[in-house]
Structure formats: structure tokens, C-alpha cells
Amino acid sequence: MRVDSASNSPSVPAIFMHIQKTAGTALIAPIRAYYGYDNSSSHADHFYDLDELTLVNKFFQNKEMVARYKNMGFISGHFGFDFYRRFMEGRYSFTFLRDPIERILSYYYFCKGREADEYFEYGLAQRLSLDDFLLQGFENPAMRIRIWNNQTWALAYGNWAHTPRPQTSFSPEELLDLALEHLDNFSHIGLLESFQTDRNIILSALGIPLPADNAHINATPGRPGVADLPPATLKLLADLTKLDQRLYDIVLRKRAYSIKNTDYAKVHAQNIVLQNAAFPGSLPRQAKQPDHS
């Protein structure tokens, strides 16, 4: 059962399905401060006594670990829907989406600025050009799940699944259909492009006082925008995000309030125009703004 508000119970448990580079870090801090570190888990940080391979393969086999997770007031991390659905009953659950092209660009330049030996994708980003990094999304299974229609994949099934399935075992249409179906399981779907509004909706629903200042979004300064990219790069980005573009546009049209005049919505529309101008037909259809008339 989806929980839509915590107004009658300020300690209602919550889930944040954190898709990487959708501004989740700016939201997690005030929520964890409210629930308390011992009553919250982000990216399985309470299970770091186990290596990642053991966590992924044996998490659901370990009844003690699952029970600990179920008893956490707030849980979040870069896990997929099939992982989170085991814990969503009775929780206020939310996730954020982002313009797909902007998300991948942000991810690449974020990785490029990190320590190369921290995670393998950080090293890849520092060794490879943007185009070669994007090609990894087609050629390297470990990178495919990170950049090939990553938002659709997370909502459809995702990483850390109860019964792991390779991404390639799903057809593209199956992934998109599952992602759209699973949207209704969430109490709120936010957009990075309207982050302040969505943050306030979520914090209010959880009974958490709103911060006095605007949140700092974990941005990468100085990176190029879509308008700065050559046609070959735009083509790679378009091919990597066809499903995410469709998902994002559908969510954009379903919004209960208008964001059609925000700068971010304009950026999304401009990105579509630039991609279609460079490679007509590379995207499944033109992006549409929400119809609030």
C-alpha cells in the first residue's frame, strides 16, 4: 500500500530510491538528520562489514540483514525497484528523475572529478573521452546498467534485485512498460528540474521542518552543455536515452503542478531540439510540455 502523507505520524518510515545524479544527496542529509543515523541507511552503509559481492548475492538470503533493513526508519541508495518493493509496504516512498541527457553528462563529469581508484567508472571517465565513455554504455555490461536508459532500468527492475536478471533479458518495450507501471507505487515522483518544490513536498509529508535556505545541489561546475556538443556525441546520447526520454516526458506531462515556465523545462526542450536537428528521428518523438490548460 502506498503511503501519501505522514501528517498523522511524523515517524512514518520512508524509502528514497536514489537514481544517481538526480540531486538525491541534497535531500538525504536533512532526512537522515531527522530520523537519526542509527535509524537510517544510505547505500547500505550499515552493512559495510560485508563486501559488495556478498551483499548483492546474499542480502535476501540473510534473514537478519533483511530484518535490520525492514526496521530502519529511512532507507535509500542506488538500488532498483525490485529491491525496494520488498520494503515499500506502509512506507512513504519517493524517487527523482532528471532530463536524461543532462543526467549522463553530469555523471561523466562527476566521475571525471573523483579519485580514479575509488570506483572503476571513475577511472574510466578519467582515461576516456566523453564519446568513448558513452560507447561503454553499449559495449561494457557493467557500464550499461549505469548509463543506458538508467532511469528506466531502475524503475523497471534495477540493481540489487531479489532475483537478479541481466538488463539484456528484457526487451526495451518491456522495460519501459514496467517502469511506467511502477511509478504508481511511489508516494511522490520528483524532478531535479523542480527540486526545491519537490523537496518541500516530501519533507512536509514526512513531518520534517523545511530548511530556511535553498538546498545545494551536487553540481559539477564548468562542464559543457548540450549546445556545446558535436553531432556525433549528441547521437550517442540520444541512442543511450531513448527509453529515458519517453519516461521523462510522460512524467513531465503528468505533473500535478506546472513547471513549464522553469529554466530546467526550457533546457529539456532545447536539448530535444538540438538532438533532432543534428539527427532527425534519433529520438522516438518530440518532447512535449505538460498541458495544464
CA proximity to 159, closest of 15, 19, 49, 42: 19
- Give the range of the structural domain holding residue 273, as residue numbers without chain letter: 14-278
Phi-psi region of 169 (alpha: psi -120 to 50; beta: other; left: phi over 0): alpha
Domain-embedded: residue 2: no
Domain-embedded: residue 3: no
Domain-embedded: residue 177: yes
pLDDT in tens, 4-43: 654 444 468 999 999 999 988 889 988 999 999 889 988 7
- Packing angle of the helix pair 130-139, 120-127 (nearest 10 deg): 130
pLDDT in tens, 154-181: 999 998 787 778 999 999 999 999 999 9
- Provide the pLDDT confidence category of residue 186 given band limits of 50, 70 and 90: very high
Domain-embedded: residue 197: yes
- Provide the pLDDT confidence category of residue 131 given band limits of 50, 70 and 90: very high
Domain-embedded: residue 135: yes
Across residues 210-221, what is the average pLDDT? 68
User: How confident is the model at residue 109, as a pLDDT?
Assistant: 94
Domain-embedded: residue 4: no
Across residues 275-289, what is the average pLDDT? 46
Number of domains in the chain: 1
Across residues 176-187, what is the average pLDDT? 97
User: How confident is the model at residue 91, as a pLDDT?
Assistant: 95
Across residues 222-246, what is the average pLDDT? 93
Across residues 261-277, what is the average pLDDT? 52
Domain-embedded: residue 119: yes
Give the CATH number of the domain where residue 203 resides: 3.40.50.300
Domain-embedded: residue 73: yes
